[in-house]
Structure 1
Amino acid sequence: MALYGRVKPTSATTLPTGRVCFYDGRSLATLGCSTLAPQANGVMQAHIKVALTSGTHAIVAKFSGDAHYAAAQSNAFALVVS
């Protein structure tokens, strides 16, 4: 399965750089990190591939921030694996 994190730029001239890391709140485990890459729609995106055990996982994405964009964290979202 793949997890995607998107960071939308607030400026057309300064794109965010850095990494997005994904966490499983159920086990407090780091699932992985990926460097942002530009997409055709102007959004910066990071993605990782993960293998999760069955059950409900509380997934959180954290953006590291850079010189122009503050670090940020998503709300947890429930991902059910069966």
Structure 2
Amino acid sequence: MEQAIPERRIRIIKSVQSAGGQTSAEALCGEYPDDDQVLRAFCELEEQYAKNPVYEKLHGFNERLSLSFRNRDSNEIISFMTED
């Protein structure tokens, strides 16, 4: 008898670290069924933050499968990373 393997969804987690690095918060940003949708979500997030002059891009998902931005006003670091 075959067993059904539960669907493995890939999560994107948003992490916000304070300017001094002393506090951080994490939240689920989204869940996706496959790599293509994860990449599409990363593209949308990168475009959204890149358009806002308050945010400085630290690295994009092409360099590693995560995104990081710095808020120029508060110096908070906003990161998006995958987790499965």
Assess same fold via TM > 0.5. no
Q: TM-score, with normalisation over the residues of structure 2?
A: 0.30
Q: TM-score, with normalisation over the residues of structure 1?
A: 0.30
**Bigger proportion of residues as helix:** 2
Find the structure with the greater CA-based Rg. 2
**Bigger proportion of residues as strand:** 1
